[in-house]
């Protein structure tokens, strides 16, 4: 976890709630599965675009702990999309130096899906140009609960639990907090995404449906971010004097 201000106006870490695949498909009389497939294509394009702009880490919400409540056919199609998207995009991602990591409860996935994720992680493990974190069977509340379970299992005394110790047990503990959150599809909620890590992110809501999100929208989101002065609860330019609990 890090609360340091970004050194430039380009966010180091961008998080995205990729919303709108279903509506995109519906507008074209296509199945929701077709929408998710197009969403995977948009993701591959966006990785390239954000990397070109200087972003280093992208975390995307691809399947939430609540998405199991969708119709079985849709859940199955998203699970099957992982191995097929891997066949389509892995080689290009790998050649571009993208490290892919999955965050979430992978053990609970169908074995073909879990195996595909482990394969992508293994092949790209040593890449360093860009990191793509895919939140899959992930929920912010799940993450907080599993962190508590880890600390209790390790018998960490209550008095020793600080924000940093707690963050070290969360799924994204190797990575700085997102600087910018983008939610597409016109909704304006967090939907249980990165509840701890988004504490000081700038939030950009776009009406664009995820499959249509491309360079113009990427530029719009980055311009929005560049227009913000990040204060982390301090006043004016005093973010570097941050100490103690952040105020509002
Ligand atoms: C939300 O849109 C989107 C999802 C629940 C799935 C996101 C998945 C992808 C973009 C594919 C990524 C693929 C891989 C392999 C990582 P929605 O279906 O809720 O859209 P709606 O609000 O229009 O119904």
Question: Is 19 among the catalytic positions?
Answer: yes
Range in 3-12, 78-87, 233-242 the model is least confident about:
233-242
pLDDT at 234: 83
Mean pLDDT over residues 31-57, rounded?
Answer: 97
Average confidence (pLDDT) over 47-60? 98
Question: DSSP string of 86-105?
Answer: HHHHHHHHHHTTEEEEEES-
Mean pLDDT of 172-182: 97
| Whether the predicted pLDDT of 243 surpasses 90 | no
Instruction: Give the mean pLDDT of 80-102.
Output: 96
Tell me how far apart the alpha carbons of residues 248 and 238 are, in angstroms, rounded to a whole number.
Answer: 14
Contacts of 103 (CB under 8 A, 6+ apart): 59, 133, 134, 135, 136, 138, 143, 171, 172
- Do the beta carbons of residue 65 and residue 137 sit within 8 Å? yes
User: For atom 6 of ligand 1, which residue has the closest CA?
Assistant: 62
0.85 surpassed by pTM = yes
Report whether 184 contacts 213 (CB < 8 A). Answer: yes
pLDDT value of position 236:
65
Mean pLDDT, residues 152-174 taken together: 97
Q: Is position 164 annotated as part of the catalytic site?
A: no
| Closest to 210 (Cα-Cα) out of 40, 73, 29 | 40
The model's pLDDT over 213-231, given as tens digits with 9 standing for 90+, comes to: 999 999 999 999 999 988 8
pLDDT of residue 190: 97
How far is residue 3's CA from residue 233's CA, in Å, rounded to a whole number? 11
Task: Summarize the confidence of residues 192-220 as an average pLDDT.
Answer: 98
Q: Is the pLDDT of residue 1 over 80?
A: no
The reported pLDDT for the residue numbered 8 is 66
Query: Is 196's pLDDT higher than 60?
Result: yes
Helix (H, G, I), strand (E, B) or coil at 153: helix
For the chain, give the percent of residues with pLDDT over 90: 89
Nearest CA to ligand 1 atom 11: 40
Q: Which atom of ligand 1 is nearest to the CA of 64?
A: 5
Q: Which residues, in sequence order, are CB contacts of 206 under 8 Å at separation 6+? A: 182, 183, 184, 185, 186, 213, 217, 220, 221
**Ligand 1: lining residues by beta carbon, under 6 Å:** 18-23, 36, 39-40, 43, 62, 67, 78, 81-82, 85, 134, 185, 210
Atom 18 (ligand 1): residue with closest C-alpha?
22
Span 108-147, pLDDT tens digits: 999 999 999 999 999 999 999 999 999 999 999 999 999 9
| Helix residue ranges, H only, 125-178 | 140-153, 163-167
Ligand 1 pocket: which of 30, 38, 62 to mutate (most atoms within 8 A of CB): 62
Cα Rg of the chain, angstroms:
18
**C-alpha of 208 from chain center:** 18
Q: How far is the CA of 87 from the centre of ligand 1 (A)?
A: 19
């Amino acid at each position: 976890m890090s609360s340091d201000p970004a050194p430039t106006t380009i966010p180091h870490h961008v998080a995205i709630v990729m919303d709108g695949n279903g509506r995109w498909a519906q507008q074209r009389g296509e199945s929701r599965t077709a929408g998710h497939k197009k969403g995977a294509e948009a993701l591959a394009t966006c990785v390239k675009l954000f990397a070109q702009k200087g972003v280093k880490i992208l975390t995307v919400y691809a399947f939430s702990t609540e998405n199991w409540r969708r119709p079985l056919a849709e859940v199955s199609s998203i699970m099957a999309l992982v191995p097929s998207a891997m066949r389509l995009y892995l080689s290009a991602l790998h050649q571009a130096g993208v490290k892919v990591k999955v965050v979430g409860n992978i053990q609970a996935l169908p074995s073909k899906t879990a195996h595909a994720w482990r394969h992508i992680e293994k092949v790209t493990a040593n890449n360093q140009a860009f990191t793509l974190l895919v939140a899959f069977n992930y929920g912010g509340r799940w993450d907080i609960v599993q962190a508590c379970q880890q600390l209790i299992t390790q018998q960490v005394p209550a008095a020793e639990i600080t924000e940093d110790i707690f963050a070290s047990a969360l799924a994204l503990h190797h990575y700085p907090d997102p600087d910018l959150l983008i939610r597409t599809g016109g909704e304006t909620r967090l939907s249980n995404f990165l509840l701890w890590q988004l504490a000081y992110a700038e939030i950009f809501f776009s009406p664009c449906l995820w499959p249509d999100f491309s360079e113009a929208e990427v530029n719009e989101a980055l311009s929005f971010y560049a227009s913000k002065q990040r204060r982390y609860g301090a006043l004016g330019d005093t973010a570097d004097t941050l100490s103690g609990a952040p105020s509002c």
